[in-house]
Amino acid sequence: MSGNSLTVLSGGTFVRGDVYSQDVLVIEGGIEGNIVGNRVIVKPQGWVHGDLTCRSLSIEPGGVVDGAIKVSDSSSLPSPAMVEQELLVGQEAPSLIEVAGTVSEDEAPSA
């Protein structure tokens, strides 16, 4: 791919599982799982419950990251194959990813 691609997890969308993004990941909804990415932007209504490793991170006021954060240069980010291998070590099956149309405040994990 040339240039930056943009992936947006829209408000009201909830993902349970680990996420890998090679380009820009904008989080307006929620992710319960670990994230490895190039550039991550957590919007005011967005939230992450898990560890986050990226090259560039922006958490806008109101955005939540509940987990360890590591912002590092490009040489230390794992490749997609390494991420997949790490996610599957010790597991009988790949991580479950669930996508829901809406998440009310009482359904979202508390911070």
Residue 94 near residue 87, CB atoms below 8 Å: yes
Inter-residue contact 31 to 50 (CB < 8 Å): yes
Are 66 and 52 in contact by the 8 Å Cβ rule? The answer is: no
**Assigned domain for 110 exists:** no
Render pLDDT for 60-108 as a digit per residue (tens, 0 to 9). 999 999 999 999 876 666 666 665 555 555 444 444 444 434 444 454 5
Count of domains for the chain: 1
- Render pLDDT for 3-60 as a digit per residue (tens, 0 to 9): 568 889 999 999 999 998 888 999 999 999 999 988 999 999 999 999 999 999 999 9
pLDDT in tens, 22-36: 889 999 999 999 999
Query: Is residue 94 assigned to a domain?
Result: yes
Question: Which candidate, 41, 34, 33, 36, places its Cα nearest to that of 9?
Answer: 41
Domain residues for the domain of 75 are 6-100
In a domain, 89, yes or no: yes
Asked if residues 27 and 41 have their Cβ atoms less than 8 Å apart, the reply is: yes
Separation of alpha carbons 91 and 55, rounded Å? 27
Does residue 1 lie in a domain region? no
